[in-house]
Amino acid sequence: MRSKILIAISFLFIYHINIFGQNRFFEKGYIISLNGDTINGYINKLRMNQMFDGVDFKNKLEDTNLHFFPNQIKSFCFPERNMNFESVKYRAYENDSTISLFGLQLVSGKLSLYRIEKIDEDNEQIFDKNNDHIYIVKNDTSYTELRITESMPVDKYYENKEYIVQLFSLFDNADNLVSEISNTGFNDKDLTKIITIYNSRFSNKVTAVFKNKSKLKIKKGITASFYSLNSTTDADYTPISIGYFWDILDPDHSQHVSWLTGVNYFKPINGINSKDNYISVPLLANVNLSNGTIAPFLNIGFVFYSKLLFQSFSVSTSIGFGTYINDKYLVSIAYEYPSFDHIFTGDYFKYHWLNFKVGVKLY
């Protein structure tokens, strides 16, 4: 009965999240209007290649999304990431039309550099992984598109580095940078370097380099757990546990998936193992369903158990759900079972642990 109740609660939990938590992955940021006004709020952080055409913005998390195209605002920014997107206009290589997109800013100065991820019929990825994007260089109010153009003759494959020719034409003092320009690769690092060198040598204007990298977001704190064991042999086996957890998220890879680990000490309060002491280390993938005041998550992974002094060792699989409250408190419940054998035999609930956990995040 208890297991059926747990399944019912899980389905209701997931249903609730699908309805109310779908559009809550917004980060603090701001937009710059066409009039130059800074408007603070929250920006929907999508995959990189989805933010060049437009951006979803909210003044407050509870507000309705406002979608802005590149011709409607000047720029948008994620301050914590040092990540800035500006509206750029350039002549398309393939048909000489004018295109407006948001460009990820890499350098600002006399010459500013932007990257745009796009694939079109004249810039398709053939063999070179670096050929799935272009760069835009801004000089005053004019924009120049840098790209690799490739062709494949019958007898060999070769690469035409058109961007090198474009760099020579962009630099007023290119004769003094022949070696540096010629050895520039078609990547963020090399192009950022050559633009920065040019700006520092031939301009008094301040040059800024955008790292576009985020710090790891780490939640850490203390927890207390109560285990309820269902077993045909140890029905009264009831451990309690205290521990320390780390919930680690890398925003550059995902806003939704973090890794939960930690160290726990627990001791059975009854049963045949009541004199034993154990430690456990979870390794769980957390799927974060919201970043609001109530921030629910699902997780799945493994928990490694050992008696103190490593007298024995075992591994359980775990699946659970929980929530952070006010970014401070943690409440969760997990279903653990000791091996995959039960999956194939159908005895899902013959032997399992229910882990009820509460915690407090420390700063």
Q: What is the CATH number of the domain that holds 328?
A: 2.40.160.20
Q: Please tell me whether residue 10 adopts helix, strand or coil conformation.
A: helix
Specify if 324 maps to a domain. yes
The DSSP bridge pattern shows strands 111-117 and 98-108 to be antiparallel
Any domain includes 273:
yes
Residue 71 lies inside a defined structural domain of this protein: no
The answer on 347 and 245 residing in a single domain is yes
Residue 358 shares a structural domain with residue 241: yes
User: 265 and 328 in one domain?
Assistant: yes
In this prediction, residues 213-242 reach a mean pLDDT of: 76
Go through 11-37 and write b for each residue having 16 or more CB atoms within 10 A of its CB, e for each that does not.
eebeeebeeebeebbbbebbbbeeeee
CB atoms inside a 10 Å sphere around CB 144: 17
Cite the DSSP H helix spans in 133-269: 162-170, 178-182, 188-202
CB 151 within 8 A of CB 158: yes
Asked whether residue 254 is assigned to any structural domain, the reply reads yes
The per-residue pLDDT for range 175-186, each reduced to its tens digit, is 888 889 988 988
Q: What residue spans of the chain are helical by DSSP H? A: 2-20, 162-170, 178-182, 188-202, 341-345
**Could you say which DSSP state residue 186 is in?**
S
Asked which of 163, 185, 212 is the last residue of a domain, the reply is 212
Number of domains in the chain: 2
Any domain includes 268: yes
Domain that holds residue 193: 87-212
Last residue of a domain, one of 153, 180, 212: 212
**Looking at the structure, do residues 229 and 340 belong to the same domain, yes or no?**
yes
Q: What is the pLDDT of residues 113-124, one digit of tens each?
A: 999 986 544 444
User: Contact 173/203 with Cβ under 8 angstroms?
Assistant: no
The verdict on 358 and 219 lying in the same domain is yes
Looking at every residue in the chain, the average pLDDT score rounds to: 80
Which tops the pLDDT comparison, 246 or 97? 246
Collapsed DSSP state (helix, strand, coil) of residue 279: strand
Last residue of a domain, one of 181, 197, 212: 212
Co-location of 248 and 346 in the same domain:
yes
Nearest to 211 by CA among 76, 112, 107, 75: 107
Asked if 214 and 252 count as a contact pair (C-beta separation under 8 A), the reply is yes
**pLDDT at residue 263 above 60?**
yes
Residue 329 — very low, low, confident or very high, per pLDDT cuts 50/70/90?
very high
- Which has more confidence, 235 or 298? 298
45 is a domain residue = no
CB atoms within 10 A of CB 240: 13
Choice between 275 and 191, residue whose per-residue pLDDT is larger = 191
The reply to whether the predicted model has a pTM over 0.85 is no
Residues 335 and 235 in one domain: yes
